[in-house]
Amino acid sequence: MTAIDGLPPLRRVIAEHGLSARKSLGQNFLLDLNLTAKIARQAGDLTGADVLEVGPGPGGLTRGLLAEGARHVLAVEKDARCLPALQDIAAAYPGRLRILNADALKLDPLDHLTPPIRIVANLPYNVGTELLTRWLDPPAWPPAWQSLTLMFQKEVAQRIVATPGSKAYGRLSLLCQWRTDARIVMDLPPEAFTPPPKVRSSVVHLTVRSEPLFPARAATLFGLTAAAFNQRRKMLRAALRGQAPDIVARLEAAGIAPTRRAEELSLTEFCALAREIDRQRT
Ligand code: SAM
């Protein structure tokens, strides 16, 4: 049976193009087109938007994005074996799908797209986290993109949305929540993928904030959070010793007891401390 787009089912695509999953490329494919359409819908209104899809593989999610009305999709795939399957999709959606055979960690394809831009990816988890942190720290804010809709292992998704005091709370929570509104929008069991991974997965949707939640200089805030969470069990006066010569005074001026620990500090407190450190530098 053919799907709504007239293309063959994904199991047949995989068999015809010999796309046996490679562990080295983190290949766990989504073959249910109802599910990929549902994920595409989590990315928001795609009509009139350009979409960057990283790691399309055999193109299940790509088909969902196009069927949901994306104006253009730029698909960046490292595995050249996937290109013929992706070219078949491009032929079914003339002028709307561009395919780049490249490592997404080695290029910045956002220049090729026209706003509004949405980014969607089901990537190997390590690549996804690396790209997420890059997308959250472009040379200028607001960035070129409007939203990120990304699949992560559930534990990473929980870190992204975690609040102070929880085990999952850390640097990633602060980076994401400072500049975006981040929500877990779907949970997926291992059986949703072929082959199934060992862990559960979640889709996180992050919407850009035109201004970060609280004022602070990005470099100071990112330096502080890295130092604080590298030694998350230590008191802040010790963990942040290298951040300012008079760190105890800076903490107190920001209204933070120097004996507190990173995992207890809210985003607004981290931003207050970053401003206090910068005020002293100028
Ligand atoms: N999006 C497809 C789906 O949902 O079925 C495939 C998902 S699979 C988890 C990850 C995909 O990312 C694979 O097709 C893999 O080849 C590709 N990939 C892995 N590392 C990549 C990288 N650095 N740059 C671009 N693509 C990459």
pLDDT higher at 202 or 107: 202
Mutate to test the pocket of ligand 1, among 10, 27, 52, 150 (most ligand atoms within 8 A of CB): 27
pLDDT at 1: 46
Query: What's the chain look like in SS3?
Result: CCCCCCCCCHHHHHHHCCCCCCHHHCCCEECCHHHHHHHHHHCCCCECCEEEEECCCCCHHHHHHHHCCECEEEEEECCHHHHHHHHHHHHHCCCCEEEEECCHHHCCHHHHCCCCEEEEEECCHHHHHHHHHHHCCCCCCCCCEEEEEEEEEHHHHHHHHCCCCCCCCCHHHHHHHHHEEEEEEEEECHHHEECCCCCCEEEEEEEECCCCCCCCCHHHHHHHHHHHHHCCCCEHHHHCHHHCCCHHHHHHHCCCCCCCEHHHCCHHHHHHHHHHHHHHHC
Where do the CATH 3.40.50.150 domains begin and end in the chain? Answer: 10-208
Residue 38 above 50 pLDDT?
Answer: yes
Provide the CA 65 distance to its chain's centre, in angstroms: 17
pLDDT at 259: 98
pLDDT category at 3 given cuts 50, 70, 90 is low
pLDDT at 109: 87
pLDDT category at 126 given cuts 50, 70, 90 is confident
Question: 10-208 belongs to which CATH class?
Answer: alpha beta
Residue 282 above 80 pLDDT?
Answer: no
Q: Which atom of ligand 1 is nearest to the CA of 105?
A: 23
Q: Is 218 in the pocket of ligand 1 (CB under 6 A)?
A: no
Where do the CATH 1.10.8.100 domains begin and end in the chain? Answer: 218-281
pLDDT at 242: 92
pLDDT at 198: 95
Identity of the amino acid at 263: E
What CA–CA distance (Å, rounded) separates 89 from 60? 10
Nearest residue CA, atom 12 of ligand 1?
A: 55
pLDDT at 177: 98
User: Is the omega angle on the peptide bond into residue 196 within 30 degrees of 0, that is, cis?
Assistant: no
Residue 204 above 60 pLDDT?
Answer: yes
Q: Is 202 in the pocket of ligand 1 (CB under 6 A)?
A: no
Mean pLDDT within 76-93: 98
Residue 4 above 80 pLDDT?
Answer: no
Residues 144/110, Cβ–Cβ less than 8 Å: yes
Provide the CA 113 distance to its chain's centre, in angstroms: 18
Q: Is 131 in the pocket of ligand 1 (CB under 6 A)?
A: no
Q: Is 149 in the pocket of ligand 1 (CB under 6 A)?
A: no
Mean pLDDT within 91-101: 97
Tell how strand 145-153 and strand 201-208 pair up.
Answer: antiparallel
User: Tokens at residue 111, please?
Assistant: 């220049």
In percent, the amount of the chain with pLDDT more than 90 equals: 93
Mean pLDDT within 72-101: 98
* Chosen CATH of 218-281 out of 3.40.50.2000, 1.10.8.100, 1.10.357.10, 1.25.40.10: 1.10.8.100
